[in-house]
Amino acid sequence: MAAAEHLTREQKQTSDMSLDVKKARKETPGTRNVAHFNNAGASLMPLPVTDAVKAYLQLESDIGGYEAAAKSAEQIGAVYQSVARLLNANPAEIALMESATRAWDMAFYALDFKPGERILTASNEYASNFIAFLQARKRYGVDIGIVENDEHGQISLEALREAMDERVKLVALTHVATNDGLVQPAEEVGKIVKEAGALYLLDACQSAGQLCLDVRKIQCDFLSATGRKYLRGPRGTGFLYVKREMIEKLEPPLLDLQAANWVSPDSYEIRGDARRFEAFESSLACRMGLGAAVDYALGWGMEAIQERIAELATALRSELSKIPGITVHDRGERKGGIVTFASDRISPSEIQDKLRSLSINVAVTQARHTRLDMEARRLDGLVRASVHYFNTEDEIARLGLELARIQTAAAL
């Protein structure tokens, strides 16, 4: 694994550097092919990530899968340390997963819900999470409470405080909504939840890699995230943070020989760290890629990344607002790197197809992804353009120009 060790040293050398966009683009081969505004879907991987994955796959090919795992045990263990640094957590509080959904589910379904207990969430909660709430209501008889929004469209802290009674077991919140630029006030929510003595599950799928995350400040009990979005890691990766005090209180819904030890014919012991939520089988090559992605982000500095993304998103919203017939639909007192808009002449999917033919990548967010929020705003779908630090002002201008041409052509 000499190649992986070399990458680690390179990433350490960048830790004191400011965010050099030219360097970032040079290390991101995909920028030569496309203007990528789908970072909230899956970002472009930088060379250190793809190199780490390739190097590990080559090692497996050379000496065997189990043998590669044994030889690389220290480097694999370092991935937990990297994710912990990203979150200001302890490595023992980190589980590596194959997706953010799997991570979120393992925390949620480990909770022992009782009839009449309440789950509180916001109106922009993601579909996969809300489906789990509905299943818990059907299975256990829990109540689901939707906390109203404030004037900015985000969760009302006053309404949340009023809703926190003795029946509330869990507050589950999506940090950054998939369908607009809104960033929920996660730290303020954490203070209210902890004062009430309830549990707090934060879905950081869209915030990990674009915002500074500190689980101590957020005061969440659980945090789930993916590697493929703003962290720029491989698909098929994710992680779960579980607060140390919660780990031994929870029995995961699924156990295997990674999560537990079969100590006698009639008994087993669940391991004492967050890896009790993991499964034995996983892509270790992708995990190495995840570790490289986290190290790469930390090398640039999360504050620098956060600032750059916010600046580019503001510029994109301004550019789009100049185009007749285009409406930007982002809300929130604080906005992130996701920019959503719609045309009065052409559907989101048609815009996506036309831009893709021009090598400009955007996504479409549909009502079924955040049904409560989208239906309340009478929206069927939106175009989602999500920026990252390697995007440029020229790419934003090009997106605006091509979208204006598409609008004009649709009117003819």
User: Contact at 8 Å (CB) between 336 and 207?
Assistant: yes
Residue type, 238: G
Q: What is the pLDDT of residue 17?
A: 44
SS3 192: helix
Cα angle 31-32-34, degrees, rounded to a multiple of 5: 60
Q: What is the pLDDT of residue 5?
A: 37
| Helix (DSSP H) and strand (DSSP E) numbers for the chain | 16, 15
SS3 89: coil
The tokens of 285 are what? 């090559």
In the chain, CATH 3.40.640.10 covers: 73-299
Cα distance between residue 312 and residue 389, in whole Å: 8
The tokens of 375 are what? 């239906």
User: Contact at 8 Å (CB) between 343 and 407?
Assistant: yes
Q: What is the pLDDT of residue 123?
A: 95
Does residue 16 surpass a pLDDT of 50? no
The tokens of 65 are what? 């899968």
Does residue 8 surpass a pLDDT of 90? no
Q: What is the pLDDT of residue 316?
A: 98
Place of tokens 């009990």: 221
The tokens of 62 are what? 């050379």
Cα distance between residue 285 and residue 9, in whole Å: 19
pLDDT in tens, 307-319: 999 999 999 999 9
Q: Where are the alpha helices (DSSP H) in 99-243?
A: 100-108, 127-140, 157-163, 186-196, 215-218
User: Contact at 8 Å (CB) between 215 and 89?
Assistant: yes
In the chain, CATH 3.90.1150.10 covers: 302-411
Considering the segment(s) 302-411 as one domain, its CATH architecture is: Alpha-Beta Complex (3.90)
Cα 144 to chain centroid distance, Å, stands at 23
Closest by CA position to 171, among listed 95, 230, 111, 106: 111
Q: For the beta carbon of residue 104, count every other beta carbon within 10 angstroms.
A: 29
Cα distance between residue 6 and residue 338, in whole Å: 34
Rounded mean pLDDT, 46-57: 98
User: Contact at 8 Å (CB) between 338 and 313?
Assistant: yes
Largest Cα–Cα separation, the chain: 76
More confident residue, 6 or 292: 292
pLDDT in tens, 349-393: 999 999 999 999 999 999 899 999 999 999 999 999 999 999 999
Percent of the chain with pLDDT over 90: 94
Percent of the chain with pLDDT over 70: 96
What pTM value is reported for the model? 0.93
User: Contact at 8 Å (CB) between 232 and 208?
Assistant: no
Rounded mean pLDDT, 256-280: 96
Sheet of 363-366: strand order equals 326-328, 338-343, 381-386, 363-366
User: Contact at 8 Å (CB) between 209 and 231?
Assistant: yes
Cα distance between residue 370 and residue 268, in whole Å: 40
Q: For the beta carbon of residue 394, count every other beta carbon within 10 angstroms.
A: 9
Closest by CA position to 169, among listed 211, 221, 210, 122: 221
Q: What is the pLDDT of residue 94?
A: 98
Q: Which helix (H) or strand (E) holds 352?
A: helix 348-356
pLDDT in tens, 164-188: 999 999 999 999 999 998 999 999 9
Q: What is the pLDDT of residue 407?
A: 95
pLDDT in tens, 140-151: 999 999 999 999
User: Contact at 8 Å (CB) between 182 and 330?
Assistant: yes
Does residue 4 surpass a pLDDT of 50? no
Beta strands 238-242; 260-264: pairing state? unpaired
Place of tokens 């489906």: 131
**Which neighbouring-strand residues pair with 147?**
122
Q: For the beta carbon of residue 157, count every other beta carbon within 10 angstroms.
A: 15
* DSSP-assigned states of every residue in 52-97: HHHHHHHHHHHH-HHHHHHHTHHHHHHHHHHHHHHHT--GGGEEEE
**Which neighbouring-strand residues pair with 318?**
none
Rg of the chain in Å (alpha carbons): 22
Fold of 73-299: Aspartate Aminotransferase; domain 2 (3.40.640)
| Average pLDDT across the chain, whole number | 94
Q: What is the pLDDT of residue 411?
A: 83
pLDDT in tens, 202-255: 999 999 999 999 999 999 999 999 999 999 999 999 999 999 999 999 999 999
Residue type, 272: G
pLDDT in tens, 74-118: 999 999 999 999 999 999 999 999 999 999 999 999 999 999 999
SS3 26: helix
